[in-house]
């Protein structure tokens, strides 16, 4: 197996929304906001070469939206999805599978691109993986999530015939080296890949634990649909991770990529911080 991080650029989100009930006096120390209260976040995906497959986990925001849309989120930085994949020596057509943790725009926007007047899959040879429970929540969104589920990111996947559904059973196998952990606090049936790599297990945290600071249990995003569920899910998975020496990989932390955990008198905290490329 080969495992790589894929950086797709940076963007900005409201600091209060990203940190929920945590006071700004605390979160501003770890991710300082600008004059508009916006903090900078990464869109870090994973690329897994294993068993003859090349699997991309999430796709970032993409670049097909209009100027008004991007004006809300200020995408910036030199990294793009295609640039990061090709820098590793792969071609976009080499991707065999696109595993979408969930269908919020900053996780699946890069799955679809504009080709003239058409919206088509970015990865023409790939199977796109979601689950039916989450898909149905995304195509008929509640009022609170409607701004995150954009039809132009979602419907063309199904229309292309490249969409397949995973049975959303917690701890089920996607491949022999990738298990799926199901969580529902952030959104319906979000799927977190738990990857066995070099005799270690790495949990790609998506939006359950978007950054290192969010390891702390009270740090729950205001975007979460069921914050009390998120608390329970974080506590359960963090204890499992600490007991089994898992690594956590953060999708949105602009500085910290991966860490190990330790149990302390104040609860579970990070232990060592490093990059997947250092393993």
CATH code of 2-278, in short, is 3.60.15.10
C-beta of residue 164 within 8 angstroms of C-beta of residue 129: yes
Taking Cα atoms as reference points, which of 77, 103, 91, 104 lies closest to residue 47? 91
Domain boundaries, the chain: 2-278
For residue 276, how many other CB atoms are within 10 A of its CB? Answer: 19
pLDDT at residue number 94: 98
- Kindly indicate the confidence band of residue 197, based on its pLDDT and cuts at 50, 70 and 90: very high
Q: Kindly list the strands in the beta sheet with 172-175, ordered across the sheet, starting from the edge strand earlier in the chain.
A: 172-175, 178-183, 190-197, 200-204, 247-249, 258-264, 267-274
Q: Mean pLDDT, the chain, as a whole number?
A: 97
pLDDT tens string 215-251: 999 999 999 999 999 999 999 999 999 999 999 999 9
pLDDT at residue number 25: 97
pLDDT at residue number 240: 98
pTM of the model: 0.97
pLDDT at residue number 274: 95
Q: Give the span between the Cα atoms of 26 and 273, in whole angstroms.
A: 21
Mean pLDDT of 15-42: 97
pLDDT tens string 73-104: 999 999 999 999 999 999 999 999 999 999 99
3-state SS assignment for residue 24: helix
């Amino acid at each position: 197996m080969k495992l790589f991080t894929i950086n797709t650029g940076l963007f900005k989100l409201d600091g209060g929304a990203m940190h929920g009930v945590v006071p700004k006096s605390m979160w501003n120390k770890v991710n300082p906001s600008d004059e508009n209260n916006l903090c900078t976040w990464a869109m870090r995906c994973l690329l897994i070469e294993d068993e003859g497959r090349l699997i991309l986990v999430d796709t970032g925001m993409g670049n097909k939206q209009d100027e008004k849309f991007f004006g809300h989120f200020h995408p910036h930085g030199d990294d793009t999805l295609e640039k990061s994949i090709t820098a590793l020596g792969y071609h976009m057509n080499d991707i065999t599978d696109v595993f979408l943790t969930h269908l919020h725009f900053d996780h699946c926007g890069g799955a679809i691109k504009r080709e003239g007047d058409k919206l088509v899959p970015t990865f023409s040879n790939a199977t796109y993986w979601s689950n039916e429970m989450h898909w149905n929540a995304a195509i008929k969104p509640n009022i609170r999530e409607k701004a995150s589920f954009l039809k132009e990111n979602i419907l063309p996947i199904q229309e292309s015939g490249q969409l397949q559904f995973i049975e959303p059973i917690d701890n089920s196998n996607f491949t022999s080296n990738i298990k799926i952990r199901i969580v529902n606090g952030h959104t319906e049936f979000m799927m977190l890949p738990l990857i066995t790599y070099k005799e270690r297990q790495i949990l790609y945290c998506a939006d359950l634990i978007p950054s290192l600071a969010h390891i702390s249990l009270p740090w729950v995003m205001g975007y979460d649909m069921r914050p009390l569920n998120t608390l329970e899910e974080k506590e359960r998975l963090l204890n499992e991770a600490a007991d089994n020496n898992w690594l956590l990989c953060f999708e949105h932390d602009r500085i910290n990529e991966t860490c190990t955990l330790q149990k302390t008198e104040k609860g579970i905290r990070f232990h060592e911080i490093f990059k997947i490329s250092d393993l």
